[in-house]
Structure 1
């Protein structure tokens, strides 16, 4: 069974619909996980995805903010909403897909809070909210164990490595790459023994980004990016993978007219 999965913070699914449709026409995608859809369930452009063959759809929407959605050509079983967000915002969803050998794998799609403007848990509730989300997720991974196949993806809003940011030294004081966030992300990775295929396809010290601010008129020229978007596989899923995992960042999409500030990321592999 081939699995081609894309994760993309679309920054409004209705506003970016032409770009999303073009991307899906240009690329072979089985499952697309979207974040920051910024709409309620009844406002989601379901018909446009169905017309492209994505007839299996799950939406966790919210009026004007946040929201995640998943569209698939592959049938899936919708699981309960993971309870990692203490505010009850639409930031998480989970599904289970069946594989050809009768086993199953779970996919968790997240839009983890950005964390506000300064890294202080006591003085900034948004930052505390972010770290609490990660702590709940980490504890769940510990309790869940590593043998049940799992893929985690989404806008995780932490650039964890020295080469995941445009300037390691300058970004250490900026939310998304502060020491406590790097440590928190490391604890999360360790709890699930998660594999990062992008750092295999793009090994250190190559700088790799998935997000660029709208403030730069030419994002490639300034190239002050961050790798905030991730697709991660646990040991149970890695045992099912046959051959290599192809990981790709579609940064050319960031050049399109009225783009999201995030680029789509994709993995392809056989299970």
Structure 2
């Protein structure tokens, strides 16, 4: 008998500042596993109780003060606890676990990369590219391990992943060099981009809208920065994928919205 399992990923942009919408999301959607990025909190002050009250008794946290931070909250047992430093500077940007069925979940928060797409002028951009190169090295060694790689990749790789390909070509998150390096990451382990499996290009599929827009929904200048990839054996078990777009209109939202994939294992 197959068992359904839902996995969500969400850049929450400070979990303590968004407790109201986190609680509402858990009530309305209740995914089995939630991967958070940009929690912006040390482990000792993470709001663990809120999640435990809703059945998320298995928690793996990798936080730091004020910045970055990732977490995996689960209703089912999760094993192991990997924290890979692809930034090579100690920032909390990855946490990985294993489910009892053998599937690994790797939750990653790729650096945004600053504003100027030039590593000489903007060292943050170089750090982003180097981060992804280290991810490629890691990904190339996974061999036959069933794996889900999810999180805020901070790259919208396809022309239809942004509101205007022409206007964003020189904007960090959609530059050719970023799209090329993300393509090499995908090729390094033949990852399946589950979003585009269920919503083939050129369908609209945004997960992020800037705070700068007066009316995010009306202007709809979105980008697909959040992704869920998986090895082909896991992708075959996926039965649905969706972006929970209405959350962007909730009170005091993150600029990202959750993505959810459901599996039948």
Moved more, 62-71 or 73-82: 73-82
User: How far off is 1:257 after superposition?
Assistant: 0.7
What is the match of residue 177 of structure 1?
Answer: 174
Closer/same/farther in 2, CA of residues 238 and 203 from structure 1, 3 Å limit: closer
User: Secondary structure of 2:72's partner?
Assistant: strand
Is 1:148–1:236's contact at 8 Å kept on the other side of the alignment? no
> Which of 130, 136, 147 is the matching residue for 1:150?
147
After superposition, residues 1-271 of structure 1 pair within 5 angstroms as 1-99=3-101, 104-145=102-143, 147-238=144-235, 241=237, 244-271=238-265
Q: TM-score, normalised by structure 2?
A: 0.97
Is 2:194–2:235's contact at 8 Å kept on the other side of the alignment? no
| Structure 2 unaligned blocks of 5 or more | none
User: Secondary structure of 1:154's partner?
Assistant: strand
In structure 1, distance between residues paired with 2:133 and 2:260: 26
User: Secondary structure of 1:23's partner?
Assistant: helix
User: How far off is 1:211 after superposition?
Assistant: 0.3
User: How far off is 1:201 after superposition?
Assistant: 2.1
Q: TM-score, normalised by structure 1?
A: 0.94
User: Secondary structure of 2:17's partner?
Assistant: coil
In the comparison of the two structures, how many residue pairs are matched?
A: 263
Render the CA deviation track for 1:73-114: whole Å, top value 9, x for unaligned: 010113221131211100000000012xxxx01100011100
User: Secondary structure of 1:143's partner?
Assistant: coil
In structure 1, distance between residues paired with 2:76 and 2:160: 35
User: How far off is 1:269 after superposition?
Assistant: 1.1
Q: Which 4+ runs in 1 deviate beyond 3 A?
A: none
Is 2:34–2:74's contact at 8 Å kept on the other side of the alignment? yes
User: How far off is 1:205 after superposition?
Assistant: 1.5
In structure 1, distance between residues paired with 2:13 and 2:141: 33
Is 1:254–1:262's contact at 8 Å kept on the other side of the alignment? yes
Render the CA deviation track for 1:222-253: whole Å, top value 9, x for unaligned: 111110000111124235x2xx5300000100
| Structure 1 unaligned blocks of 5 or more | none
Q: CA RMSD in A?
A: 1.1
In structure 2, distance between residues paired with 1:40 and 1:188: 30
